[in-house]
Amino acid sequence: MAETVLSFVLDQLSTFLREEGRLLGGLRQEVQFIRDELGHMRAFLREAEAKEEDAQPRLQEWIKQVRDAAYDTEDILDEFVARFARHRTTGFYGSVQRIFSSIKNLRARHRVASEIQSLKSRIKSISEGHQRYQSEYGISAQGSSSLSAVNNTTWRYSRDDALLVEEAKLVGVDHPKKHLISQLLKRDDYQLKVVSVVGMGGLGKTTLVKKVHEDPEVRRHFPVRAWVTVSQTCDFQDLLKDLIQQLHKEGKKPVPQSIESMTTTELKKIVKDFLQQAGRYAIVFDDVWDVEFWNTIKFALPESSHGNRIMLTTRKADVASASCTESLGYIYRMEPLSLEDSWTLFCNKIFKGNSCPGHLMDVAKIILDKCEGLPLAILAISGLLALKDVNRIEEWEMVRRSLGVELEGTGKLDRVKRILSLSYSDLPWHLKICLLYTSIYPEDYKIGCLRLVNLWIAERFVEWREGMSIEDIAWGYFSELVNRSLIQVTGVFYEGMPGYCRIHDLLREIIISKSREQNMVTITTGQPTRWPSEKVRRLIVHTSCSNNTQHHQQTQNCCFDHLRSFVTVGSTNPLLSRMLLSKVLESSKLLKVLDLTGQETPEEVPNEIFNLFHLKHLDLCGTRVERVPKAIGKLQHLEYLNLGNTGVRELPMEILKLQKLRVLKVHQRVDASHDDYGHHGFKAPSNMGGLLALEILNCIDVSSGSAIVKEIGKLTQLRELGITKLRREDGKELCSSLANLTSLQVLRVASIAKGDDHEIIDLNHHPPPLSSSSSSFPQSLRMLILCGRLEKMPQWVAHLHNLVRIDLDWSRLRGEEDPLESLQHFPNLGEINFCGSYQGEGLCFKAGGFLKLKQLHLKRMEGLRWMRVEEGALPHLQKLFLQQLPSLEELPMGIQHLIQLQRLNLYEMSSQLREKLLENQKEDSEDYRRIAHIPEILIGYYTDDRKWRHRWLWAKKKKI
């Protein structure tokens, strides 16, 4: 764990020496020495931590010393920069100020030099311990051989866990088993086929594949079979030898004696030659961790006309995808057990198939909920409960309360911890620290992906790379954690952009444990707790109902001098948040991240915030702030400012001093109840184009005229842009500005609104001299939202081939201007949202159109009387929302062609259509037959007394 912190601090040290090293003067060499010494210890530390649980207290203490030294190094350098980098003014006044500052800071510089020297001595002493423990514990400086041994031990635990699941006669496996067997035995494909089973650790992938592999029908069909366990640290030559021995045993042939002395290439040739002569074969590669393994082993697997099969289990989606790329492939994503199967497995283990006693029912369900369908966890926890007295509910309650502690220790849940920890241990340091940071969220919290990624960036967990935006790199980290089955996406903002996510409860307990060991975050709910003895570095405030007087007394003795982040999560107690914030702003001069999202703050930003020299991330979204003072200009290092859903309508001229600002969000819904009517923006200073680092600007009020629209064209780094109150006469100037924004991915444009009647948006312009070319508009655009009247669709929209989502609100296009016509052949379009966008009587989705569309939402089209879906249109549509279409009296014609449709929502439709559907649910009715294939159909409406009602017409799956 300390290795993760050390890698992070080393990265920060390198950045510091590159960007601020000139301030150090003669101290630069001392800091470089510290960096180099810590770097030498990193490889050793990685291996030492693998042995930490079994190590003597002296080694554990040494690991703690390294971590503390890394943190203290960061503290000293941040304090140094805060003290000596403030005064960079120019001119006569600046010269005088620097002279007085230099005189005043002579003593301070001497104190910093003394601290760095003292730290250097500490590092030397720790380094001597490093060399001593290398010899004492047999740990190599490079961290190679011993680490493999440790990982192999951990790997054995994972295989034991598979056997544990097998012995328990896992329930819920019959259906996926039959499905996979059908994939193996398909006779219509006679070339090599790869079937990959992917999912998080503990789901029973190995058990499932083992049952398939040993099925009598599979054994008869494939006379030559082999099972190879790969693991994280397999020796490839040993693996090939094992495979050769299995194959020859299956084929009743002697194993070549010379394989012990063969090279990898020779071994692969033996495997390939054998398989080419063997006829049909089925080989399982269990527990594959690396794409490189598949890229190597595939050359030993011959293509043939026999219909050979490879099965592969992995936790990583990219491994599954890579194995299926060149051959025929099928990916089966392993899902957790259903609630019913989980309960059956739970009771089988504890009560030997009998039912759960009534007095234990409530606590048993709470404990089972923690397992979230993870078979390994259910078996381990039920094994623990099987030892308890069923007549003493307090013993079960004790297990419920102590599940997190059980996972930290050893015993019945040790296997669960080890198998879930395998995926964590396999991560590089930057992904480890990002995953650990998710411990800031409470159990079952709906984690906003965008907020999480922005916090990773603010905390400096994301490594900058040449030619890439920091946001793209951070989203790459997120995707990798999803790919490794460590984060689960639960909602999508638009096609390809995750909206919400979560962490499995038991994995979360392990993450919290590791985060606590690392002193990475300190979480308070306001309940009376003992604050950690170590320096608090990241303070997270959760929902609280505690006695605030008592908590206030506790915080008086807390030291926040080393605090880097103050983040509130959820609806916290206003008094608690204010007390903590006051304490933090009073003593935390090194604060870099301040996130008060959704809190009841004062209407003015506290003045103390503007003294935070290092502040990079300020999130006041959803607070009561109404005014931003001129002092905002003092935050020279600010990169992220979020004033979304606040009362702020104007920014001072001093905002232009924030030359590092990448993200600026200032907006609020026009109607708080829904977003059909767009957002208010902010009035910007006239020289807004001077903020050259801006990548996200949302939303800027351009009602003042063409001058501010022209300024937008200077912000060439913009990736997301929101514009409000665009005048018709400024449309041409906006088109000219958009031509400069070659990296733009998201564009929102709203015209001046007069109730429901928006002014016309006129964007049918091509900027000179490219008046005949569509390439003058951002081809990178992925999401386009136009809110306002359109006389016709802008011609350049038809050339946005990367578009994945389009929203048209209040466009009021005439019947002859069918909005579908120019969109139907977009190659990547996945989502369409129309609200008041069309005045015609009908819409037709033509055959061969909208091939990638997954979601369609049509709303507030009063004149729409009919819809038709031709066969071959919308082949992948999954969700169809029809809302407030009072003239639509029939279901869309051809709706039966939408065979992938999972959900149909009918909100506030005509009473005739509603009553017809609610009354006519007989299986032999025409309407029923047309929509019987749709798993979920929901009808929502207001009653006469304006109360909202909804009825499930039917739902074949779990209701949402």
pLDDT, tens only, 837-850: 888 899 999 999 99
* Domain co-membership, 603 together with 581: yes
Q: Supply 142's token pair.
A: 């490079």
Beta strands in 292-436 (DSSP E): 309-314, 328-333
Distance CA 177, CA 209 (A): 8
Query: Is position 736 within any domain?
Result: yes
Classify 63 as helix, strand or coil: helix
Q: Do 291 and 168 share a domain, yes or no?
A: yes
Indicate which CATH number applies to the domain containing 455.
Answer: 1.10.10.10
Those residues with Cβ within 8 angstroms of residue 761's Cβ, 6 or more apart along the chain or in another chain: 726, 728, 731, 749, 751, 786, 788, 789, 790
Instruction: Find, among 772, 824, 780, 830, the residue nearest to 798 by Cα.
Output: 824
Of 369, 394, 417, which residue sits at a domain end? 417
Last residue of a domain, one of 417, 445, 466: 417
pLDDT at residue 547 above 70? no
854, 826 contact by CB (below 8 A): no
Q: Which residues pair with 940 in a beta bridge?
A: 907, 950
What is the tens place of the pLDDT at every residue in 901-912?
A: 999 999 888 888
The whole-number pLDDT of residue 131 equals 67
CA 958, CA 663: separation in Å to the nearest integer? 40
- Two tokens, residue 896: 């039966």
Do residues 627 and 753 both lie within one domain? no
- pTM of the predicted structure, to 2 decimals: 0.80
Contact indicator for 221, 280 with CB cutoff of 8 Å: yes
* Helix H or strand E segment including 102: helix 91-137
Residue 110 has pLDDT above 80, yes or no: no
List C-alpha distances in Å: 505 to 294, 439, 469: 32, 11, 32
CA dist., res. 597 & res. 619, Å (int): 6
| Main-chain dihedrals φ then ψ at residue 922, nearest 5 degrees | -80, 140
The answer to whether residues 222 and 132 belong to one domain is no
Taking only Cα atoms into account, the Rg of the chain, rounded to an integer number of angstroms, comes to: 31
Cα–Cα distance for residue pair 5/67, rounded to 1 Å: 7
Beta strand segments in 783-876, E:
783-787, 805-809, 831-835, 842-845, 855-859, 866-869
Rounded CA separation 640/617 (Å): 5
Residues 6+ apart with CB under 8 A from 462: 430, 434, 456, 470, 473, 474, 477
202 plus 218 within the same structural domain = yes
Residues 173, 311 share a domain: yes
Whether 440 and 329 map to the same domain: the answer is no
Residues 6+ away with beta carbon under 8 Å from 931: 891, 895, 896, 904, 937
Type of residue at 886: P
Question: Does residue 549 lie in a domain region?
Answer: no
Return the percent helix, strand and coil in the chain, to nearest 5: 45, 15, 40
Q: Is residue 8 part of a domain?
A: yes
Q: Which helix (H) or strand (E) holds 365?
A: helix 361-371
Same domain, 278 and 187: yes
Q: Within a domain: residue 405? A: yes
Tokens of 331: 């990916």
Using DSSP bridges, classify how beta strands 720-726 and 668-669 pair: parallel, antiparallel or unpaired. unpaired
Enter the DSSP assignment of 295. Answer: H
- Which CA distances in Å does 191 have to 194, 270, 329, 536? 10, 20, 11, 60
Q: Is residue 659 part of a domain?
A: no
Name every residue whose Cβ is closer than 8 Å to that of residue 276 and which is 6 or more positions away in sequence: 302, 304
Whole-angstrom distance, CA of residue 857 vs CA of residue 877: 11
Give the pairing of strands 497-502 and 488-494. Answer: antiparallel
Task: Return the closest-CA partner of residue 490 out of 442, 444, 446, 436.
Answer: 446
Percent of the chain with pLDDT strictly greater than 70: 81
Is 270 within a domain? yes
Start-to-end CA span in the chain (Å): 39
Residue 125: inside a domain: yes
Asked if residue 229 belongs to a domain, the reply is yes
Distance between CA 832 and CA 826 in Å, rounded? 12
Average pLDDT score over residue span 911-921: 75
Phi, psi (rounded to 5 degrees) for 270: -65, -45
879 with 913: CB under 8 angstroms? no
Cβ count near 87 (within 10 Å)? 13
Q: Is residue 804 over pLDDT 90? A: yes
pLDDT tens sequence across 190-233: 678 899 999 888 888 888 899 899 889 998 888 888 998 887 76
The angle that helices 361-371 and 339-351 make with each other, rounded to 10 degrees, is 120
Cβ pair 214, 138 in contact under 8 A? no
Instruction: Provide the number of structural domains found in the chain.
Output: 7
Q: Read off the DSSP letter of residue 610.
A: G
Give the closest residue to 819 by CA, choosing from 836, 560, 724.
836
In angstroms, the CA 507 to CA 515 distance is 12
Q: What is the mean pLDDT of residues 341-367?
A: 84
Query: For residues 809 and 787, is the Cβ–Cβ distance under 8 A?
Result: yes
398 and 297 co-located in one domain:
no
319 in Cβ contact with 423 (< 8 Å): no
Share of the chain above pLDDT 90, in %: 27
pLDDT for 155 beyond 50: no
Q: Are 780 and 811 in contact (CB under 8 A)?
A: no
Question: How far apart are alpha carbons 318 and 903 in whole angstroms?
Answer: 29
CB contact at 8 A, 23 and 81: yes
Question: What confidence tier does 162 reach under pLDDT thresholds 50, 70, 90?
Answer: very low
Distance CA(133)–CA(34), nearest Å, equals 20
Domain span at residue 208 reads 163-333
In DSSP notation, 70-100 reads HHHHHHHHHHHHHHHSS----HHHHHHHHHH
In this structure, the answer to whether residues 50 and 178 fall within a common structural domain is no
Residue 653 CA to residue 699 CA, distance in Å, equals 17
Q: By C-alpha distance, which of 858, 737, 874 is closest to 809?
A: 858
Mean residue pLDDT of the chain comes to 81
Q: Could you tell me where the DSSP H helices lie in 138-168?
A: 145-167
What band does 527 get if pLDDT is binned at 50, 70 and 90?
Answer: low
Write the pLDDT tens digit of every residue in 264-298.
888 888 888 888 887 788 899 998 988 888 888 88
Q: Both tokens of residue 955?
A: 């739902």
What is the tens place of the pLDDT at every residue in 572-626? 677 777 788 888 888 888 899 999 998 877 788 888 899 898 899 999 998 889 9
Strand partners, 697: 664, 721
Instruction: Find residue 679's DSSP bridge partners.
Output: 669
Residues 6+ apart with CB under 8 A from 596: 566, 568, 577, 581, 619, 620, 623
Over residues 748-789, the pLDDT tens digits come to 999 987 656 778 888 888 655 444 444 557 788 999 999 999
Residue 33 has pLDDT above 70, yes or no: yes
Token pair belonging to 858 = 């049509």
Are 32 and 181 part of one and the same domain?
no
**What's the pLDDT at 921?**
59
Largest CA distance in the chain: 93
3-state secondary structure of 600: coil
408 CB-contact burial (10 Å; exposed 0-12 / middle 13-18 / buried 19+): middle
Selection from 202, 162, 181, 125 nearest residue 421 by Cα:
202
The answer to whether residues 74 and 190 belong to one domain is no
CA atoms of 275 and 118, how far apart (whole Å): 66
pLDDT of residue 440 exceeding 90, the answer is yes
